[in-house]
Structure 1
Amino acid sequence: MKPVRLPASATLALPRWGLVALCLLYILPGLIRRDPWKSDDAAGFGIMWTMARGGWQDWLLPHIAGLQVPGEGPLAFWLGALFIHLFGWLLGDALAARIATIGFFLIGALSVWYSTYLLGRRAETQPIRLAFGGQPEARDYGRTLADGALLIYLGCLGLLLRSHETTAEALQISLIAFAVYASVRLFESQSLRAALMLGTTLGLLVLTRGWLAPLAMWSALVLASPRHGDRLLQRLTLVALPMGFAIGAIWPLLNALFLPYGVNPTQSWLEWNAAQLALPSTHSLVYFLKYSIWFAWPAWPFAGWALYAWRQQHAALHVRLPLALVAAFTLLALCSPHGEEGVLLPLLPPMAILAAFGLPTMKRGAINAVDWFAMMTLSTCAGFIWVGWIAKQTGWPAQIARNAFKLAPGFKPEFNLLAMLIAAAATVGWIMLVRWRIARHPSVLWRAVVLSSGGVILCWLLLMTLWLPWLNYGKSYAGVSHQIGEKLPDSGYCVDTNVGPAQRASFAYFGQVEFSRFGNHDCEYLLLQDSGHSPLITKDAEGSLHLLWEGRRPSDRDERYRLYRRGTR
């Protein structure tokens, strides 16, 4: 017997404008008025920016101002560079590149919603018919489940930062979500069109972050297909797989034909792919258990409950398909030799979809416990953000103000009325949402996750309005870049360096520093990064290096930069 018994009143869907507004509130803060930060964000932007200002060879060979970046794939950077070309003159290169990031996120969010909607309106997922009628219609039930899946997806803590960065991971998770949607279409219709759509998406995933994730996904779909007959298996093996291979081979083929800058980057790309795979180890298991608990919150508790509640219908498509994908991506994460959050990202779309089917069967006590945890935790976080901002502006509470300025010495607070009004409006909206949830005791399915997603959005919005100047000061290389650029000629020079990808991208973009390209070490200038306490060059016996400048970001005690000029005085 199916575990769901619901009245039609529990399937009240969120208004479309509300969902759109929620998605925009989620993605827009953190993209506007923010510098590329010292992480993969700055490195990814550096590749896009280098492509946009370069020639065809720069589009085939991803690099950051001459530093080749082996690994991942070029698709996300191609799209970012395209938007820089189209809108950089109007919005600035950094913001123009983030238009692609907005598009990536919207594709992923819509795919999660429509995948859940298609699964939720199937006959095997419908609630038990009530004796005197009043059960929801299939379309209404599917829409309500889809709303819940989207709210769970937005509430996942691991998605928050990655979806706002100019990286290949932001595109990868959205393409995985779209591939889930294409898979649902294929399992339902077994049509050639759906198989081609799935194959194309798998090929684009290969061009985004290599072949491991799409291969794991395709394998999971093959294992989940036997109950649907031979035709589905034929579509997967004879249409989707060859199509994915053909799309994924476009970039390696172009590399082999044109050899950008005389090299073929395909070899280093394949080596990067191979380095992402190893036998499961204790280290990978500990990392997975330690970080997935918060990374996939609140999806995993609801997904676990869905598996228990639907255990007697485990062969149903809405359980079997997302579960197969979650299992495949979990195995892939356990086989990763590197402890990094990127290996956990593919879990989120299928887990959010599976979690939505746990909502109709959750007990009221469990729902209230999740709600109270979300309300207390996220309200406390929002309160600390407000108190910290007040401390920075007024100096009270004194201890909090001292701690904030200690982390960013030299920072001068600035008051932005518009940012404060946006933050205040968001806080009032949160209070109204909490009051509605507590006072009304709504019966709609998505009530269990609305506070989790709303609170995450509130805290992120507060950080990206009230604290953005402070965060920019601590995470941006703009100030150091300008200082270095002022010590260099306007043109006709090059700089050798040992700085990493994020720093190189920032110095090239903000300071217009012309670095040596592809291993050329015959430049007049030398820029070195060290720990600050032990310079790399302590003695120049020949007198051929002259120190022109040294400095660091005020908030970073571990990085110091020294600029030298080669030659005699």
Structure 2
Amino acid sequence: MKPVRLPASATNALPRWALFALCLLYILPGLLGRDPWKTDDAVGFGIMWTMAHGSLQDWLWPNIVGLPAAEKGPLAYWIGAVCIKLFGWLVGDARAARIAPAAFFLLGSSAVWYTTYLLGRRPEAQPLKLAFGGQPEPSDYGRTLADGALLIFLGCLGLLLHSHSTSTEALQVSMVALCLYAATLLFDTRSLRAAALLGLSLGLLILSRGWVVPLALWLGLLILASFRERAVVLRLAAVSFPIAIAVASPWIIANNIMRPFDSSPYDAWMLWNYRQLGLPSYTTLRNFFKNGIWFAWPAWPFAGWAVYAWRRQYQAPHITLPLTFFVACALLALFHTRSEEGVLLPMLPPLAILAAFGLPTMKRGAINAVDWFSVMTLTTCAGFIWLGWIAKQTGWPAQLAKNAFKLAPGFKPEFNLLAFIVAVGASIGWVMLVRWRLSRRPSVLWRAVVLSSGGVILCWLLLMTLWLPWINYGKSYAGVAYQLAQRLPAGDYCIDTNVGPAQRTSFVYFGEVPFSRSDNDTCRFLLLQDNRRSGDAAKLIRHSGNQWRLLWEGRRPSDKDERFRLYERLN
């Protein structure tokens, strides 16, 4: 017997404008008003910027002004470079590049919503008919579940930073969601068009972040279909797989034919893919559960309950399809050779969809417990963000202000009226949302997750308005890049360097530093990055065989260990 029994009143959907507004409130803060940060964000922007201002070779072999970076795949960088080409003159290259992750997020959110809607309309997912009628229509039920899935997706804590970064992870999450949508269509209609869409999605996923994840998803679908959908097996093998290869192959073939920079990124790209797979270890297992608990909150409790509640309908596609995707991605995370947060990201779309089907069967007590946890935890976080901002502006509380300025020496807070108004408005909206949820006690399905997602959006919005100048000051290399640019002479020359990808991006973009793009260049200047404790710069200077003069030394105020030194060759 199905575990769901609902009246039609429980399936009132959110207004479309409200869903769209939530998505904008989620994605826009953190993309605007900041520099590229010392993370994959700066690395991704550097590759996009190099492509947009470079030649065809830069488009074929992703690099940061001569530093190769082709390991993960070119698709996200291609899209970002196109955005820079189209909109860089209008809003600046850094803002134009962030149009790409915004588009990735909207694509992934739409795929999560429509996948849940298709699965929620299926006969196997429908609630039991009531004795006197009044049960929801399949379309209304599917729409409400889709709203719940999107709210859960927005509330996943692990998605926050990666969805606001110009990196391959942002596109990978969206492409996994699109693959799940195409697979749902294929199992629903068994059409060649759906198989072709799945192949296209898998091919784009290969170009996004390697072939390991798409191959695991394809194998998982093949195993699932072999039990009951023989027609789907044929389409997966004869249509989806060849199309995926056909979509991903042109980049590889073009590199082998044109040989950009007299070489090809194929070997480095394949080696990076091979390194994604290894044997499970205690470290990967520990990090999987340690990070997964907060990374996939609040999706995993609802998803786990959904699997349990629908255990007697274990062959129902609305459970088996997202569960197959989740298991495939979870196994890859466990077999990964390194413990990285990014390997958990592909699990979020199937977890959010699976969690939506746990909403109709959750007990009222469990829903209230999740709500109270969300209210207490997220309201406390929001209050601390406000208190920290007040401390930076006024100096009270004194200890909190002291700690804030200790982490960012030299930071000078400024009052931004627009950011303050947005933060106040978001806080008032949160209070009204909590009051509506606790006083009216609505019966709609998505009531169980509206506070979780709303609170996460509130805290992120407050951070990206009230604290953004402070965070940007600590994570940006703009200041030190400007210092270096002022010490460089005019003229035509090049600079050798050992700086990392994020630093290289910032120095080129903010300081227009002319780094060497070839190992054959003989440069007059040398920029070294090292740690005050290690003394690596001195070692490199001694073993270079040349005489050097120190011209400049600098660092970010928020980092006491990292330092940069500029030398001029004397002989």
SS of the counterpart of 1:549?
Answer: strand
Amino acid in structure 2 at the alignment position of 1:504: R
Specify the alignment match of 2:397 in structure 1: 397
Distance 2:205 2:341 in 1: 18
Question: What stretches of structure 2 of length at least 5 have no aligned partner?
Answer: none
Residue 566 (structure 2) aligns with: 563
Q: Deviations over 1:453-492 (max 9, x none)?
A: 0000000000000001001100000000011111113441
Structure 1 residue 223 displacement after superposition: 1.3
- Residue 198 of structure 2 contacts residue 240 of structure 2 at CA under 8 Å; is this kept in 1? yes
Matched, 1:550 2:553: yes
Of residues 485-494 and 255-264 in structure 1, the stretch that sits farther from structure 2 once superposed is: 485-494
Residue matched to 1:332: 332
Retained in 1: the 8 A contact 2:73–2:208?
yes
Aligned to 2:513: 513
Call closer, same or farther: CA 1:207–1:288 in 2, change over 3 Å. Answer: same
The answer for the alignment partner of 2:96 in structure 1 is: 96
Instruction: Report the CA distance between 1:342 and its aligned residue.
Output: 1.0
Whole-Å separation in 2 of the counterparts to 1:220 and 1:117: 22
Structure 2 counterpart of 1:176: 176
Aligned partners of 1:481, 1:170: CA distance in 2, in Å? 27
Alignment of 1:133-212 (within 5 A): 133-212=133-212
Displacement of 1:543:
7.5
Separation of aligned partners in 1, 2:170 and 2:153: 14
The residue that corresponds to 1:286 in the other structure is 286
Mapping for residues 467-482 of structure 1, pairs under 5 Å:
467-482=467-482
Cα shift at 1:558: 1.9
Q: What is the match of residue 39 of structure 2?
A: 39
Instruction: Identify if the C-alpha distance between structure 1 residues 367 and 88 changes in structure 2 by more than 3 Å, giving closer, same or farther.
Output: same
The 5-angstrom pairing of residues 235-314 of structure 1 reads 235-314=235-314
Greater shift, 329-338 or 527-536, is seen at 527-536
1-structure distance, mates of 2:424, 2:231:
56
SS at match of 1:249: helix
Q: Which has the higher mean CA deviation after the structures are superposed, 285-294 or 526-535?
A: 526-535
1:87 aligns with 2:65: no
- What SS class does the counterpart of residue 169 from structure 2 fall into? helix
Task: Encode CA deviations 1:91-145: one digit per residue, 9 max, x unaligned.
Answer: 0000000111110000000000000000001111111100011111110000000
Instruction: State whether structure 2 residue 214 is matched by structure 1 residue 214.
Output: yes
* Residue of structure 2 in register with 1:10 after alignment: 10
Counterparts in 2 of 1:120 and 1:548: CA distance versus 1, 3 Å: same
Q: Tell me, yes or no, if the aligned pair for 2:61 and 2:70 is still in contact at 8 Å.
A: no
Distance 2:557 2:451 in 1: 38
Matched, 1:431 2:437: no
Equivalence map 1:370-389=2 (5 Å): 370-389=370-389
User: Secondary structure at the residue paired with 1:224?
Assistant: helix
Give 1:70 shift: 3.6
Residues 491-546 of structure 1: per-residue CA shift (max 9 Å, x gap): 41111111110001111111101111143462111111111244334487887211
Query: For residues 31-53 of structure 1, what are the alpha-carbon distances to aligned partners after superposition, in whole Å with 9 as ceiling and x for unaligned?
Result: 01111000100001000000000
Cα deviation 1:257-276 (Å, max 9, x = unaligned): 10001001111100111111
What letter corresponds to residue 272 of structure 1 in structure 2? W
Residue in 2 that maps onto 1:407: 407
The unaligned stretches of length 5 or more in structure 1 are none
TM-score (norm 1): 0.98
Shift of 1:69: 1.3
Task: Answer yes or no: is the 8 Å Cα contact 1:67–1:518 preserved in 2.
Answer: no
Partners of 2:547 and 2:334 in 1: CA distance: 51
The answer on whether the counterparts of 1:3 and 1:361 sit within 8 Å (CA) in structure 2 is: yes
Larger CA deviation: 219-228 vs 290-299:
219-228
CA distance in 1, matches of 2:537, 2:306: 60
8 Å CA contact retained: 1:26, 1:461: yes
Residue type of the alignment partner of 2:232: L
Could you tell me which residue of structure 1 aligns to residue 229 of structure 2? 229
Superposed CA RMSD in Å reads 1.2
Supply the distance in 1 between the matched residues of 2:150 and 2:229 (Cα, whole angstroms): 31
**Distance in 1 separating the partners of 2:510 and 2:106:** 29
Aligned partners of 1:538 and 1:243: how far apart in 2?
Answer: 53
SS in 1 for 2:89: helix
- Equivalent residue, structure 2, for 1:528: 528
Distance in 1, Cα, partners of 2:112 & 2:32 = 25
- Equivalent residues of 1:70, 1:272 under 8 A apart: no
Shift of 1:280: 1.4
> Secondary structure of 1:526's match?
strand
What displacement does 1:298 show?
A: 0.4
Percent identity over paired residues: 66
- Aligned equivalents of 1:78, 1:331: Cα separation in 2: 30
Letter in 1 for 2:563: R
| Structure 1 residue 88: Cα displacement | 0.3
State how far apart, in whole Å, the 2-side matches of 1:312 and 1:537 are.
65
Letter in 1 for 2:461: L
Paired with 2:329 and 2:67, the residues of 1 have a C-alpha distance of 31
Give the TM-score normalised by the residue count of structure 2: 0.98
